[in-house]
A and B are shown apart, each in its own frame.
Chain A
């Protein structure tokens, strides 16, 4: 399955809306979208995940890359992550790097 990415600058944060699978084939496009942002200047990056059905280690590496480039005080928020994907994030210890919320209203 392909991955579509919509990148929108919002008031106070940047939003990436993803739809599809983030796997070895599609993760490079996520990495491209992240690289295109001024990560070092972002206070908050939200990634909408509710239309993402699958996330492999290639996608996790893209998230780690983004968090490592962002300021220490910045937040990387995943919105609407499925239980299966949240389990993978927990298993790999990345919950210290990302904030998982069900909806934007939870922030």
Chain B
């Protein structure tokens, strides 16, 4: 948690610069926060690298790349997660919301194990309005 605020603050700042503080900013920040939280839980003490890229082609947007040198952990971001929204609250599992929110907050998402690092890439397109 040492650099928690710096990581999240950087993402918030970059998202606000790219999207002007609209819904897309919030969603990118939410997705990144959930991933940071996942990394801290699965790889406590790991180093985390964070970079953002402004994309122009094929559509304008902001790409966030997060890497960590913790143990190989594939969260299977390509497997859609579902939440039974009709399930009574008393029967709802307390977990499972984080990666659901990651998947449902960004336009593109991928994971790779590269050079002994877990690498996550999240892309949010510039809103059309």
Decide if the interface of chain A is mainly helix, strand, loop or mixed. helix
Please, which residue of chain A has its CB at the minimum distance from the CB of B98?
A57
B10 to chain A minimum Cβ distance, whole angstroms, is: 13
In the complex, whether B76 has a CB less than 8 A from a CB of chain A is no
Whether B83 contacts A84 by the Cβ 8 Å rule is no
B36 touches A24 (CB 8 A): yes
What residue of chain B has the Cβ atom nearest to residue A87's Cβ? B23
Tell me if B126 counts as interface (CB < 8 A to partner A).
no
Say whether B92 contacts A64, CB under 8 Å: yes
- On chain A, the residues within 8 Å of B8 by CB distance are 23
Q: Which residues of B contact A56 (CB under 8 A)?
A: 30, 33-34, 37, 98, 101
B37 touches A58 (CB 8 A): yes
Identify which of A11-19, A39-47, A90-98 touches chain B.
A90-98
B38 vs chain A, min Cβ distance (A) = 9
Q: Whole-angstrom distance between the alpha carbons of A67 and B94 in the complex?
A: 11
CB-nearest residue of chain A relative to B88? A96
Q: Taking the complex as formed, is A25 at the interface, i.e. its CB lies under 8 A from any CB of chain B?
A: yes
Contacts from A to B (Cβ < 8 Å): 1, 23-25, 54, 56-58, 60-61, 64-65, 67-68, 72, 83-84, 87-88, 91-94, 96-97
